[in-house]
């Protein structure tokens, strides 16, 4: 019985939870932007409800959506969530138990929403919470009971906003040991003294107290009194310090002997306020003053404070200064009392265009000078560094990055005598070239020349003085004089000096340079226009992998190929070049070798096949054909082997050229008339190429008589003549009977070797005359021959 009730209960719970899940699931969209670290970034997703994300998510960024409400079960399954951001939504309602299951939550950001009150119940289960941001919500007070009481591990708390008007004692009870406290209370009207006092120890405190500083200095004083401790850095923002009253709250700070640092951010100051501030902090052991986003309305007339003592100030940091009346601004020469002590001075992005040498002389303790992002030129830097006379003898770090300097050699000359200089940052200036040789201080360990327009690196690079003997130094100098190339200078480059040349137009790394780069230990040359040669790619890729001695210390993604064109935009680390590109010489040699071999083989083959002869013959034939129409001056050209010459001379020539007078039938109109024969021995023009002779002989003869015998078959020339007649035979006007074959000895087609296929073909297509072995039948033979020769005469 009890068991079945239990089952029912379980079922009911299951159904209910299913019902709930369905209800919320239908409204709730899913956000799948989670990475492998289970961190889900659903920022800018247009969500109006908390979206569904995997339950195991460790961090969930829901910033910049349109979420108006967090329901009780929206986050109930996220027991392991560590960080949750709802920044920049329209959150007005948070259910009281909405965060109850977030036991592991360490960071919660609810800033920039529409929460009109803070409820302590939200935080009761957040025992692990370390950072809570409630800034810029329209609540006017923190409410009671104290909201943060259960946040025992809280280390960083940000609250307040334009609407915050009241802070009461006990509002922050339970909050101790904060590392960082930020309060935006520009419109604070009521402050119960001691409200912030219980939080000690307190790390950095950032306060915005615009209105209180303007017209309620008592309130501002009370606030400052509660948070000022000697070792607590104090940051004050949004101040309008003009009247002589406005500096009075600092008296409280001064009274507590604040020591670590005072930072003022986003403020206006008049000369009067500056003087008052200097008076107020007279003798306070403050070591660091930082002022950012300052608008100075005065003219720099602060002499009235010249009796004050600020020898404690070690570091002075000024960024984004605007001087309204910059042309009326007086010289700082009277301000020895201010300039004498600091060792670190930064005046960044403040339109500084010159610091006169006499003023620079006052900065006697200065070891660190940062004038980055100003308007210094070669001329005014020369003035500032007193033309390189080494006045700032203690200077160790000089940062003139982001000015409008143009000459590396000027800078080099100016710092040459700064014998303690270790860091020189001259990046983001307008250099376009480097001098061939430079003498940097021997102490220099860091040189940043990134972001210029350098196209080459010369031996101007600094070298490491440590360890190298003077003698070897001189040797290198001499070598440098004679051959001032980059690779020659390599051994002068330090083995430990980091060099930074990012964002130039360098396209260096020629083959010869690489050897020298291999000696560098760390190198940053990203964002240049690299020529991705094989050596360069090979060198960098091995450096990326950590092989070799060089350590590329900037991001590998900043190495992008600029040329060759087909690699433009490719990250060097991912380029893979083919063998064709990388071993061009080898490749070309191999190709040429192969081509040569093939050509040679082809030649041999063609030679074996007598192709050249055919070619030459064709040429000769073409020449003969295109030349003037040859006159037919012979009846027949006789093609015969030398060994058959006796038969030709003794029988053929006399019989055909000198017909016998006493022919039997002289009355016969067809009586033999003398024929003219062309014999190569007799009629060939001496001095001509034999082929030309054969060619023209055949051209000028009506017929060609081939005297076939074993000898003929064995004589090559005869074969060629035959080959030619083959052309001739197919030449239109010659007809099929141009060739006459005479067999001197019985020769069957099969006796002729196969390679004389032309001859064999001719024998089967043309009737041939056989020289009779019996004397008495020769008359008939000659008659037949004459017939054949005369065939077309009629
Ligand atoms: C989430 O993405 C936005 C840009 O869409 C980015 O600004 C934000 O830093 C990212 N948040 C986290 C936690 O990475
Ligand atoms: C929030 O909603 C408003 C209007 O309802 C819209 O203009 C805005 O773009 C939305 N914001 C986001 C991040 O979706
Ligand atoms: C301070 O000035 C604001 C307006 O500038 C005014 O609303 C407020 O009442 C003043 N507070 C005091 C204490 O005078
Ligand atoms: C500084 O003064 C200008 C003009 O008087 C004013 O607009 C600006 O709000 C002031 N800044 C602060 C932080 O009070
Ligand atoms: C502020 O200046 C006025 C006159 O400009 C003077 O009467 C007053 O005493 C000064 N207050 C302080 C605290 O210096
Ligand atoms: C020089 O100043 C620039 C810009 O302010 C900064 O990025 C750089 O880190 C500084 N260099 C050194 C060596 O501090
Ligand atoms: C060198 O200077 C550039 C430009 O100011 C800067 O981005 C870079 O971080 C610097 N390099 C180092 C190693 O400080």
Radius of gyration of the chain (CA): 53
Structure tokens at 733: 């006007």
744-766 in b/e burial notation, b at 16+ Cβ within 10 A?
beebeeeebeeebebbbebbeee
Q: Is the pLDDT of residue 20 over 70?
A: no
Identify the weakest region by mean pLDDT among 207-211, 463-467, 513-517, 728-732. Answer: 463-467
Q: With the CA atoms of 268, 273, 275 and 278 taken in that order, what torsion angle do they form, in degrees rounded to the nearest 10?
A: -80
Q: Is 423 in the pocket of ligand 6 (CB under 6 A)?
A: yes
Chain-wide mean pLDDT for the chain?
81
Q: Is 65 in the pocket of ligand 2 (CB under 6 A)?
A: yes
Q: Is the pLDDT of residue 478 over 70?
A: no
Ligand nearest to the CA of 246: 5
Q: Is 41 in the pocket of ligand 1 (CB under 6 A)?
A: yes
Q: Is the pLDDT of residue 16 over 50?
A: no
pLDDT at residue 488, as a whole number: 27
Strands, DSSP E only, in 596-697?
Answer: 634-639, 677-679
User: What's the 243 CA to ligand 5 centre distance in angstroms?
Assistant: 8
Q: Which H/E stretch holds residue 345?
A: strand 344-348
Q: Is 80 in the pocket of ligand 1 (CB under 6 A)?
A: no
CA distance 411 to 415: 6
Tell me the per-residue pLDDT of 491-500, one tens digit each, with 9 for 90 and over.
333 333 455 6
Q: Is the pLDDT of residue 484 over 60?
A: no
CA distance 669 to 299: 142
pLDDT at residue 522, as a whole number: 62
Minimal-distance CA residue to ligand 1 atom 1: 41
Cβ-based neighbours of 618, under 8 Å, separated by 6 or more: none
Q: Is 44 in the pocket of ligand 2 (CB under 6 A)?
A: yes
Q: Is 90 in the pocket of ligand 2 (CB under 6 A)?
A: no
Q: Is 44 in the pocket of ligand 1 (CB under 6 A)?
A: yes
pLDDT at residue 499, as a whole number: 53
User: What's the 44 CA to ligand 1 centre distance in angstroms?
Assistant: 9
Q: What is the DSSP letter of 573?
A: G
Q: What is the pTM of this model?
A: 0.65
Minimal-distance CA residue to ligand 7 atom 14: 448
> Hey, how many other C-beta atoms are within 10 angstroms of the C-beta on 589?
11
Cis ω for the linkage preceding 202 (within 30 of 0): no
Identify the weakest region by mean pLDDT among 2-11, 331-340, 537-546, 681-690. Answer: 2-11
Q: What is the DSSP letter of 651?
A: I
Structure tokens at 467: 């360890």
Higher-confidence residue of 722 and 32: namely 32
Q: Is 349 in the pocket of ligand 6 (CB under 6 A)?
A: no
**If pLDDT is split at 50, 70 and 90, which confidence band does 523 have?**
low
Structure tokens at 701: 């003869």
Q: Is 271 in the pocket of ligand 1 (CB under 6 A)?
A: no
Tell me the per-residue pLDDT of 187-213, one tens digit each, with 9 for 90 and over.
999 999 999 998 888 999 999 999 999
pLDDT at residue 481, as a whole number: 23
CA distance 133 to 115: 12
Minimal-distance CA residue to ligand 4 atom 2: 268
Q: How many residues does the chain have?
A: 794
Q: Which residues pair with 294 in a beta bridge?
A: 267, 321
Ligand nearest to the CA of 209: 4
Q: How does DSSP assign 355-423, residue by residue?
A: --HHHHHH-TT--EEE--SS---HHHHHHHTGGGT---TT--EEE-TTS----HHHHHHHHTT-TT--E
Tell me the per-residue pLDDT of 270-323, one tens digit each, with 9 for 90 and over.
999 999 999 999 989 999 999 999 999 988 889 899 899 999 999 999 999 999
Provide the CB-side half-sphere exposure for 780 (13 A, CA).
9
Q: Which residues pair with 39 in a beta bridge?
A: 59
Out of 315, 349, 370, 400, mutate this one to test ligand 6's pocket (max ligand atoms within 8 Å of CB): namely: 370
CA distance 300 to 454: 39
Out of 268, 270, 294, mutate this one to test ligand 4's pocket (max ligand atoms within 8 Å of CB): namely: 268
**If pLDDT is split at 50, 70 and 90, which confidence band does 130 have?**
very high
Higher-confidence residue of 386 and 750: namely 386
pLDDT at residue 193, as a whole number: 93
Tell me the per-residue pLDDT of 594-632, one tens digit each, with 9 for 90 and over.
999 999 999 888 888 777 777 777 777 777 666 555 567
Q: Is 47 in the pocket of ligand 2 (CB under 6 A)?
A: no
Tell me the per-residue pLDDT of 349-391, one tens digit each, with 9 for 90 and over.
999 998 999 999 898 899 999 999 999 999 999 999 999 888 8
pLDDT at residue 760, as a whole number: 74
**If pLDDT is split at 50, 70 and 90, which confidence band does 13 have?**
very low
Q: Which residues pair with 241 in a beta bridge?
A: 269
- Cβ atoms 624, 696 nearer than 8 A: yes
Residue matched to tokens 């100016």 = 414
């Amino acid at each position: 019985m009890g068991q079945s009730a239990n089952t029912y209960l379980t079922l009911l719970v299951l159904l209910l939870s299913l019902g709930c899940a369905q209800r919320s699931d239908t409204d709730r969209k899913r956000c799948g932007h989670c990475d492998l670290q289970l961190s889900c970034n659903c920022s800018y997703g247009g969500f109006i409800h908390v979206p569904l994300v995997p339950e195991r998510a460790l961090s969930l960024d829901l910033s910049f959506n349109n979420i108006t409400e967090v329901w009780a079960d929206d986050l109930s399954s996220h027991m392991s969530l560590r960080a949750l951001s709802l920044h920049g939504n329209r959150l007005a309602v948070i259910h009281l138990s909405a965060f109850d299951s977030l036991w592991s939550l360490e960071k919660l950001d609810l800033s920039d929403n529409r929460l009109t009150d803070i409820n302590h119940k939200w935080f009761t289960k957040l025992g692990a919470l370390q950072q809570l941001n409630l800034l810029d919500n329209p609540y006017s007070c923190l409410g009671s009971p104290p909201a943060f009481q259960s946040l025992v591990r809280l280390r960083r708390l940000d609250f307040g906003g334009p609407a915050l008007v009241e802070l009461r004692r006990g509002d922050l009870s339970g909050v101790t040991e904060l590392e960082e406290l930020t309060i935006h209370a520009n419109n604070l009207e009521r402050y119960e003294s001691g409200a912030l006092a219980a939080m000690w120890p307190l790390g950095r405190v950032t306060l915005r107290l615009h209105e209180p500083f303007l017209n309620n200095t008592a309130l501002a004083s009370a606030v400052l009194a509660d948070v000022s401790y000697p070792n607590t850095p104090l940051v004050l923002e949004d101040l309008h310090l003009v009247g002589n009253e406005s500096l009075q709250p600092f008296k409280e700070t001064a009274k507590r002997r604040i020591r670590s640092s005072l930072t003022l951010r986003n403020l206006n100051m008049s000369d009067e306020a500056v003087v008052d501030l200097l008076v107020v902090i007279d003798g306070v052991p403050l070591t660091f003053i930082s002022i950012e986003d300052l608008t100075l309305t005065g003219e720099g007339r602060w002499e009235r404070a010249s009796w004050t003592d600020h020898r404690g100030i070690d570091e002075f940091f000024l960024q984004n200064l605007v001087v309204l009346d910059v042309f009326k601004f007086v010289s700082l020469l009277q301000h020895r009392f201010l300039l004498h002590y600091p060792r670190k001075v930064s005046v960044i992005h403040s339109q500084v265009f010159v610091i006169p040498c006499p003023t620079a002389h006052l900065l006697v303790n200065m070891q660190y000078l940062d004038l980055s992002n100003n308007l210094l030129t070669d001329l005014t830097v020369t003035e500032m560094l007193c033309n390189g006379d080494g006045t700032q003898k203690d200077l160790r770090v000089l940062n003139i990055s982001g000015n409008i300097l143009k000459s590396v050699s000027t800078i080099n000359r100016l710092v040459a005598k700064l014998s303690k200089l270790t860091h020189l940052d001259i990046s983001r200036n307008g250099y376009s070239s480097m001098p061939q040789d430079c003498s940097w201080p021997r102490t220099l360990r860091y040189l940043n020349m990134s972001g210029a327009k350098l196209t080459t690196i010369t031996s101007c690079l600094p070298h490491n003085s440590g360890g190298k003997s003077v003698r070897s130094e001189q040797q290198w100098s001499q070598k440098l004089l004679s051959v001032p190339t980059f690779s020659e200078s390599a051994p002068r480059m330090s083995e430990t000096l980091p060099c930074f040349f990012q964002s130039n137009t360098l396209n260096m790394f020629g083959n010869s340079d690489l050897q020298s780069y291999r000696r560098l230990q760390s190198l940053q040359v990203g964002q240049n226009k690299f020529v991705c040669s094989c050596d360069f790619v090979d060198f960098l890729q091995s450096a990326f992998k950590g092989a070799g001695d060089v350590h590329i210390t900037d991001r590998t993604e900043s190495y992008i190929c600029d040329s060759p064109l087909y690699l433009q935009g490719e990250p060097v680390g991912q380029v893979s070049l083919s063998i064709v590109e990388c071993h061009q010489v080898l490749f070309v040699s191999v190709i040429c070798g192969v081509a040569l071999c093939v050509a040679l083989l082809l030649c041999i083959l063609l030679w074996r096949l007598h192709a050249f002869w055919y070619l030459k013959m064709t040429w000769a034939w073409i020449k003969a054909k295109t030349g003037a129409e040859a006159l037919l001056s012979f009846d027949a050209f006789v093609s015969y082997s030398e060994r058959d010459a006796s038969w030709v001379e003794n029988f053929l020539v006399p019989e055909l050229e000198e017909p016998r007078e006493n022919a039997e039938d002289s009355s016969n109109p067809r009586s033999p008339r003398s024929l003219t024969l062309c014999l190569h021995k007799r009629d060939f023009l001496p001095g001509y190429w034999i082929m030309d002779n054969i060619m023209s002989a055949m051209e000028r003869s009506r017929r060609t008589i081939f005297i076939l015998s074993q000898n003929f078959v064995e004589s090559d020339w005869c074969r060629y003549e035959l080959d030619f007649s083959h052309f001739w035979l197919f030449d239109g006007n010659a007809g099929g009977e141009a060739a006459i074959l005479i067999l001197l000895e019985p020769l069957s087609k099969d006796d002729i070797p196969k390679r004389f296929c032309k001859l064999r073909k001719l024998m089967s297509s043309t009737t041939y005359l056989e020289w009779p072995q019996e004397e008495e039948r020769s008359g008939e033979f000659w008659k037949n021959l004459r017939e054949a020769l005369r065939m077309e005469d009629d």
